[in-house]
Amino acid sequence: MPVVNLDEKLKMFSERWSPKIVARFNGHDVMVVKVLGEFVWHSHPDTDDFFLVLKGNLTIQLRDGDVRLGPGELYVVPRGVEHRPVAEEEVLMLLIEPEGTPNTGDAATAARKEMI
């Protein structure tokens, strides 16, 4: 497998809230994503949700309080916990989740993931 340069991968697309798969390991997708604004409230009943901020500042709203992340910080939302990511400025992130996990928690409303 070739080396993956995250900066180069992030330059390949402009759409937001649309994770792009850059690698796979042990049945998991490793993805980069650009976000701005508010995402939908959602949860993942069977999986935790991993967020690593590469650039910018992200707030993950939880029903019992907010988690604020800056560059180089990560947070794992436990499975089943309702949450909503919010970015007041563009945020670049790395996400890791089991292959096929819908980003909204619902396959009918999830963004289609593609390998880049």
Contact at 8 Å (CB) between 60 and 83? yes
Contact at 8 Å (CB) between 66 and 18? no
Interval 74-89 mean pLDDT: 97
pLDDT, residue 17, reads 93
Residue 112: phi and psi, rounded to 5, are -75, 130
- Quote the mean pLDDT of the chain: 94
Interval 50-77 mean pLDDT: 98
pLDDT, residue 110, reads 75
State which fold the 6-100 domain adopts: Jelly Rolls (2.60.120)
pLDDT, residue 105, reads 72
What's the pLDDT tens digit per position in 23-59?
A: 999 999 999 999 999 999 999 999 999 999 999 999 9
pLDDT, residue 82, reads 97
Say whether pLDDT at 102 is over 80.
no
Q: In the beta sheet, which residues pair with residue 66?
A: 61
Going from N- to C-terminal start, the domains of the chain cover 6-100
